[in-house]
Structure 1
Amino acid sequence: MELISDSHVPKYAQIADIFRQRIARGIWAQGLRLPANENLAAEFGVSRVTIRQAVDLLVRDGIIEARQGRGTFITGILKQDRWLKVETTLSDLAEVYRDTSPEIINISESRTDAPLLPEDGKAATNYVFMRRVHSRDKRPYCVISIYLDEKVFRKSPRRFRKETVIPILKDMREPTISSARQTLTIGTADLEVAKLLQVPLNSPVAEVRRVFTTADRTVIYLGEVTYRGDFIRIDMDLRP
């Protein structure tokens, strides 16, 4: 199996991820003895030292166990923990944030312009920028950059700083959200995102861009969210 030679991810980390996928998909079942390091080294075209480094990562995770004189065995089961559903309606999205009650770490806050596209709508006079990390059970699952109309922010600054923004906006009587759109693209984690989400560099991520406007097309909210790829799922009804 060929590895990505020009990737910033070390070869041993790439191999460890392949091992995890084999275990998660049941290709390597619990209790299985792994092939000898020499055989794995030949499969991936690397040294035995690189294979031992990959194995050590999984040993630390409690997924496999090296037994003296017997070999290395699968002792744990990896499940696909895709618990976070990316909703496709504003009401459902607000409920997701209410139900998950994420732990919020605010990284920065400032006043700035929002990076709007021509099709997004009209810019508000000023925006409050907040960059934060959402976690669940101490595990970070998304990094979000929020641009919130400063007039809206001033209505409830304490809540906006401490709580998820979308449920607050959804419940406000003024201003009323007239249009809410989001786009999703698949990307890879850069150095900063990888560090914040605690994933290897270039890991798969889902990038979601959300824009909320009022009746006069003023953008009151722009959210740029990067989700860990191994946490999210999208369910959609396909019209016949």
Structure 2
Amino acid sequence: MTGSRTSPIPLYIQIADAMRRRIAQGIWSGGALIPSLEQLAQEFQASRVTVRQAVQMLTGEGLLHPQRGKGTRVSGELPQPLPVSVVTSLDQLSASFRATTPELLQIEEGTQRPGLQEGDGNLAESYVYMKRLHVRDNAPYCIISLYLDTQIFHTAPQRFRQQTVIPLLLEQHRDRIHHARQILTLGESDSETSHLLHMPLHAPVAYIRRIFTDAAGVVVYFADVTYRGDALRLEMTLTP
């Protein structure tokens, strides 16, 4: 296999993606010794430095384990996230986060505002922006970029930093939520999403946009969520 040198995606990321796919498909099973850097460089028609970058990337994801003088082994089977159902009520949405462990990637206060569209509502005075990775059963399944009204955030800043936001928001400020909606669209993963969610580049993903507004039409919670395509399940009852 040869990576595309005309692609805007760096070659080492393309190689890491191909290697990640082999682990996901069981071609390289847990504990297996992968080919040497020289063999991989020859296969991918790339330099040792480029291949080493790909190995380091997957090592950082916990998929590979280099051992000095012994080669590099697959750390274990690639964990597959349990499906998350698309729900239609706030209580169901809150319940879906019960087994979730949030990992805070970034937080900024008062510097960013959500990009609202017509009909979304009005902006609050300021927001706390948080980017988070959600993990369940040791498998990352979604990335959330959310904006929470600063006044609400400061009622329990430590809890909002450490816990999933929606259950806490419903627990303490349910009376502030007058209207809630979400929009789902489909797409494919970019390099950052593939890295964070441990999935191949251009793999299917689902984007969900969530907006909660208060009685005055002010957006108190806004989130852009990216789910692994294989982690989301949509089930609907059809009327005969």
TM exceeding 0.5:
yes
* CA distance 1:187–1:110, shift in 2 (3 Å): farther
Are the counterparts in 2 of residues 112 and 126 from structure 1 also a CA contact under 8 Å? no
Shift, 1:100, TM fit: 1.9
1:111 touches 1:126 (CA, 8 Å); kept in 2?
A: no
CA contact (8 A) 1:184 1:206 kept: yes
Q: 1:170 & 1:219 partners in 2: Cα distance? A: 15
Pair member with larger Rg: 1
Give distance in 2, aligned partners of 1:30 and 1:4.
28
- 2:14 aligns to what? 14
Structure 1 residue 235: deviation in Å? 1.0
Letter in 2 for 1:5: R
Alignment pair present for 1:115 and 2:115: yes
Task: Quote the offset at 1:211 in angstroms.
Answer: 0.9
Q: Is the 8 A contact 1:134 1:143 kept in 2?
A: yes
**Structure 1 letter corresponding to 2:19:** F
Displacement of 1:181 after TM fit?
A: 1.7
SS at 2:233 equivalent = coil
* Pairwise CA RMSD: 4.6
Residues 214 and 15 of structure 1, relative CA distance in 2, 3 Å threshold: same
Question: CA separation in 2, counterparts of 1:107 and 1:187?
Answer: 25
User: How far apart in 1 are the matches of 2:16 and 2:231?
Assistant: 23
Report the CA distance between 1:170 and its aligned residue: 2.5
What secondary structure sits across from 2:99 in the alignment?
helix
- What is the Cα deviation at residue 101 of structure 1? 4.4
Are the counterparts in 2 of residues 63 and 78 from structure 1 also a CA contact under 8 Å? Answer: no
The residue aligned with 1:174 is 175
String of CA shifts for 1:154-181, please: whole Å, max 9, x gaps: 6x35454554331133233422433322
Paired residues of 2:79 and 2:139 also in contact (CA < 8 A): no
- Uncovered stretches (5+) of structure 1, i.e. residues with no partner: none
- Counterpart of 1:77? 76
- After TM superposition, give the deviation of residue 234 of structure 1 in Å: 0.2
Structure 1 pair 44–175 and aligned structure 2 pair: CA distance change class (3 A): same
What is the count of residue pairs matched by the alignment? 230
Query: Does structure 2 conserve the Cα–Cα contact (< 8 Å) formed by 1:113 and 1:126?
Result: no
Q: 2:146 maps to which residue?
A: 145
Unaligned runs of 5+ in 2: none
Which TM-score applies when normalising by structure 1?
0.65
Residue 186 of structure 1 pairs with residue 187 of structure 2: yes
Cα drift, residue 25 of structure 1: 0.7
- Cα 1:42–1:157, aligned 2, differ >3 Å: closer, same or farther? closer
Give the residue type in structure 1 aligned to 2:119. Answer: E
What CA distance in whole angstroms lies between the structure 2 residues aligned with 1:189 and 1:170? Answer: 32
Q: Percent identity?
A: 30
In structure 2, the CA distance between the partners of 1:179 and 1:8, relative to structure 1 (3 Å rule), is same
The 5 A counterparts of 1:14-33 are 14-29=14-29
CA distance in structure 1 between the partners assigned to 2:126 and 2:23 by the alignment:
46
Deviations 1:129-167 (A, max 9, x none): 3224346599986342314374x556x354545543311
Displacement after TM superposition at 1:20 (Å): 2.4
The question of whether the paired residues in 1 share the 8 Å contact of 2:179 and 2:214 is answered with yes
